Amino acid sequence: MRVTNAGAKPGDVLVLTKPIGVGSLTTMLKAGMADPLVIHRISLQMAFLNKTASEICLLVGVNAVTDITGFGLLGHALEMAQAGQVEFVLNYQDIPFIPEAVDSVARGFVPGGAKANHLYTAPNVDYPPSLQREQHWLLNDPQTSGGLLISVSESKAERLRDRMTDAGIKSPVIGYVTAERAGKIIIR
């Protein structure tokens, strides 16, 4: 069985398996300004592969999945929304960020990829006025060995999340899928 990024359906919930922010922290590392303990922690996060999470996705029967890598959360979410001809609604407060990444972006450690990703995704993303530019960049932060973004029917979401928890994988629901505007994302 194979799951692609094209099967998201209205009514699905969106689940994310790793926090966002690796790109800004590795940018800080390259500048020689990163805390070694933080780098150790994100190195462990990057080394934790998506194999188990993907096996759970197949077992539960999700509708669509993609890994979050260089195009950032919004770049990959946009690909999924466009491939499925659906709209994604993401709840900013539910998206897990590496806490130190928020600080590193505020201090100016923004990867060029985050800025390029933002330029690419911005025409198809509605940001609330309350989000600052730094928050836009975090949503577009390129990840190395990022987590999975999963679109799963609401009826299977609890089972998926329970199995992820049993495997030691945090998997918050960060949004949902609608049929409103195909290929668009709303941040709330």
The structural architecture, per CATH, of the domain 13-187 is Alpha-Beta Complex (3.90)
User: Which parts of the chain register pLDDT below 50?
Assistant: none
Give the largest Cα separation in the chain, rounded. 47
List of residues 6+ apart from 117 with CB closer than 8 A: 71, 72, 74, 75, 140, 141, 142
Q: How far is CA 51 from the centre of its chain?
A: 17
Q: How far is Cα 118 from Cα 136, in angstroms, rounded to an integer? A: 7
Q: How far is Cα 187 from Cα 172, in angstroms, rounded to an integer? A: 16
Strand arrangement of the beta sheet that strand 87-90 belongs to: 64-67, 148-152, 13-16, 173-178, 87-90, 184-187, 125-126
pTM, two decimal places: 0.96
- Residue 188 has, within 13 A of its CA and on its CB side, a CA count of 8
Which residue from 172, 22, 42, 38 is spatially nearest to 105, judged by alpha carbons?
A: 22
What was the pLDDT predicted at 39? Answer: 86
The model's pLDDT over 133-149, given as tens digits with 9 standing for 90+, comes to: 999 999 999 999 999 99
Q: How far is Cα 109 from Cα 23, in angstroms, rounded to an integer? A: 9
β 87-90/173-178 pair status:
antiparallel
What was the pLDDT predicted at 34? Answer: 83
What was the pLDDT predicted at 100? Answer: 94
What was the pLDDT predicted at 160? Answer: 98
Phi/psi for 91 (5° steps) reads -95, 105
